[in-house]
Every structure is written in structure tokens, then in C-alpha cells.
Amino acid sequence: MTADPDAPVVMPAGFRWGVSTSAYQIEGAVAADGRGTSTWDTFCAEPGRVLNGDTGAIACDHYHRYADDVALMRDLGVDTYRFSFAWPRIQPDGTGPGNAAGLDFYDRLIDTLLGAGIQPAPTLYHWDTPQPLEDAGGWLSRDTTDRFAEYAAIVGARFADRVPLWITINEPMVLTLMGYSLGAHAPGKQLLFDALPVAHHQLLAHGRAVQALRAAGAQQIGIASNHAPTWPASDSAEDKEAAGLYDNLINWMFADPILLGSYPTGLEAAMPGPVADDLAVISTPLDFFGINHYAPVSVGVATGNPDTAATDGVLLPPGLPFEPRTITGYPTTDFGWPVVPDAFGEILRIFKDRYGDRLPPIYITENGCAINDGPVDGVVDDQRRIAYLDGYLRSLRSAIDDGIDVRGYFQWSLLDNFEWAAGYSQRFGLVHVDFETQVRTPKASYHWLRDVIAQTPSQSR
């Protein structure tokens, strides 16, 4: 039977619906409760780093308004909230015992979620490294993996009795590429391929955190890793080779070690430390694998054309063996990303083909789009976001129907927020935030998604 393209998409019974956020992007209150300085505080304070000089000092003021935001989630109908702990709020210096006042904030948030019938799904690390750890070497230093394991043990001991779903690290590729290789995100280093130890140390920290959380009694543990198909720019052998190299660096360097216990060919020799021993830790079995997905990437051999050699608007340095190319023929988000719903199902099928029985159940831990529509007479009619979500959810449902075990979908994001180096210029939220008044206005997409969620059979949810 052919599906009716006009009928609402319906997910299987028991499918988990959620929304995602991260601490630095929404919490604000950067000086509250003994919270320490993070690398993003430092980065934002450096002139020219963030568009318009924006910072996360206030952001969405979620720290003070979390109860209102939980009410928005409850009314949306989600059963899961993926947020992140702010490492500097829990360990201001990145070492030592947990900060009681910071831990108390997350106690309040978690208890409020549970009281609303929403399961918390915290991420331990979403890029906000305590500045003293960065000063000591950051993710270039193996010692940071020790500190991260200690941090994981603190939060596990405090919250494992109430948290059913845990995520260790968010998008280790982005921190490696944008933070340490290209310098477009905190901590702003431009190390190019010398940033590879950052990838290895994050993966090792992930494995050690899995072990620490399990020791604390945590049950369901995974990672949130961003992945997308890499399309060769042409059928030429040169473009296919360039795309394959890029694919290994951006996708498989961050998934193979976890799911196969090995690096793609040629990369293991570039990694520091006792790599074989580390891989045994990195590949500690997971309960799920979280995939963040937004858009495919077209890659070809380097041409030296600075107009094409960019990623997320950041120009790549000359001399690399590959370059991204603009994908044409599709609508784009206001961030300039192509809208290609079929690529969502494509990356899920690639994962299934690549990993087979080694692939645990999947959660979509992020998916969404920047659509910058604002209120008109009190209404945010973001029809392009609705079209985006409809297309991507249909692609997801098709992959599920093909036998890919996807257990849930967490939309990015609940709220318009601080969008890293783009500041407040890009709006990913289902809820519009007036950053001057902090007034929240649910958008048309919020109401649309609420209706979609309500269609899901309630059995086992």
C-alpha cells in the first residue's frame, strides 16, 4: 500500500518524542551559584569572535524560567527533554567535588520534569569546557579524560536514580573541527590536522564516562554524534577520493571507534597514546547511538576557489585535499543549509549497512532548521519549518519501515537560543524568544508538531 503523502506522519507505538537544548545556549546565569568560567565565556569576550558581540550571559534565562519552559514541553506533548549539564556549574574549575548549588539547580530541573511526566535525558558535555581545564591543555591533553571521568561519576552518583537516558558528549566532530582545527568556535584554535588528538581524547572521555555512569547505576547510555551523507561532487575518481577522505574524517572517525573498536584506515597512526588500549575503552558497549542530522555535504577535490571551500560559512585554509561544494537544486534554511529530507533516511541506511548487528538502537538526538520568522500580530507562522519537519519525519518513518531501529526523535530546538558564533541571528526554536523581554511565543510549528505527537499510539510510551 502506498502511503498517503497528505496524511499526517505517524510513528510506531512506543516511539519517544523529545526536544533538545544545551546549557550555554539557553541557561544564562553565567555568574550564578558559583558557576565557573567556560571556554565559551572566554571566546565570547574576545572581539570579533561572535556575530554582533553576542554572548550567552543571559541567553533564554532558562536558569530562572525553567518551570515555564517545562510547561511548554508538557503542553507540546513530548515525553523526553534532552538538555545538557553545564560542566562549569557542577565543577567550576573542572576538578574537585561537585558544586552543591549548581547540582541543586539540576535537581530542581529534573524533579520539575518528572513532575510533568517528562523523562530527563541529560548530556554531560555540550562544548562548555571549564576554562581552567582549557588553560591546562584542554582536549589536547589526555589528563582531560581523567577529569571528565571524575565529572561523570559526580553527576551519575547524584542523578542516576532519576535519569533514565544519558548522553555523554555532543558532536565531538564539531568541537574538533570548529573549535580546534579551524578556530571558529571556542577555544578558537587553528591547528588543522594537529587537532586530531582532540578527537581521540573526546572519544576516550566518552568511553570512560560510559564506564563511570554504569558504575553509578545508570541504565541507558549513548552519545550524540552528528552525521550526514557525503556526496562526491562528481563521478570523477578525484572527487570520489576527496569525498571518501572527508567522509572518514567527518563521519567515520567518530563512529567506527565506538561501534567497531577501530579507526578508519590510516587514522589510527595519527592518534596519541596507547591507541589499542584506548579503543577497548572507547568501544565500551552502548545502549543506543544518538545521531544528530541536518543536511548532506557535497565534497570534491580542492580547486583553490575560496568561494566554495567553506564549511558553515568558515573558509577552509589552502592546501587541503578536499573542499565542500554548494549543493544546488534544493531549498535552503536561513542558515544556508540545503533542505534534503531523503538524506535523513540515507544516513540511517548507511549506518545500518556499515555496522550491521553492531549498531545499537538509534535515537535522533538533534534535527531541525533555522527559520528566522518573527511574530506578526502575536503569531509566528513558520510554514517553512513545518514543511521541513514534515519532510524529514516522513524520511525517518520510511527508514523505520525499512527495518532500522530508531526509538525516538528529539527536535532541535525547543527555544530560539544562542547559536554559537552566529549569536542570536539564527532561530531554531519551536518557541520564539524575544531576547529583550524573554517573552516566549509558541510558533505554528510548535502547534503542528504537537498534533503529530498526539497521533503516536500511546501503547508502551
Annotated binding residues: 25, 126, 170, 294, 412, 419-420
Closest CA to 182 of 169, 170, 167, 198: 198
* Residue-wise DSSP of 56-86: SSSTT-HHHHHHHHHHHHHHHT-SEEE-B--
Convert 358-395 to b/e letters by CB count within 10 Å (16 or more is b).
ebbebbbbbbbbbbebeeeeeebebebbbbbbbbbbbb
Contact 22, 170 (CB under 8 A): yes
- Radius of gyration from C-alpha coordinates of the chain: 21
CA dihedral 52, 64, 26, 41 (to 10 degrees): 60
Residue 319, classified by CB atoms within 10 Å of its CB into exposed (0-12), middle (13-18) or buried (19+), is exposed
Of 134, 150, 171, 323, catalytic: 171
Q: Alpha helices of 48-195 — where are they, by DSSP H? A: 62-76, 87-90, 100-115, 131-135, 143-159, 172-174
- Grid cell listed for 17: 518524542
Contact 443, 389 (CB under 8 A): no
* Residue-wise DSSP of 354-380: HHGGG---EEEEE---------BTTB-
Report how far residue 329's alpha carbon sits from residue 334's, in angstroms, rounded to the nearest whole number. Answer: 16
Residue 150 known to be catalytic: no
3 state DSSP class of 223: strand
Q: Identify the bridge partners of residue 430 per DSSP, sorted by sequence position.
A: none
Report how far residue 452's alpha carbon sits from residue 456's, in angstroms, rounded to the nearest whole number. Answer: 7
Residue 171 known to be catalytic: yes
State yes or no: cis peptide before 38, omega within 30 of 0: no
Please give the backbone phi and psi of residue 170, each rounded to the nearest 5 degrees, phi first: -95, 125
Report how far residue 259's alpha carbon sits from residue 286's, in angstroms, rounded to the nearest whole number. Answer: 9
DSSP element (H, E) containing 310: strand 310-311
Q: What residue numbers does the annotated binding site for substrate cover?
A: 25, 126, 170, 294, 412, 419-420
| Beta carbons within 8 Å of 372's beta carbon, 6+ residues apart | 334, 425, 426, 427
* Dihedral over Cα of 104, 109, 115, 117: its sign: negative
Convert 132-150 to b/e letters by CB count within 10 Å (16 or more is b).
bbbebebbbbbebbebbbb
Q: Which residues are catalytic, by number? A: 171, 366
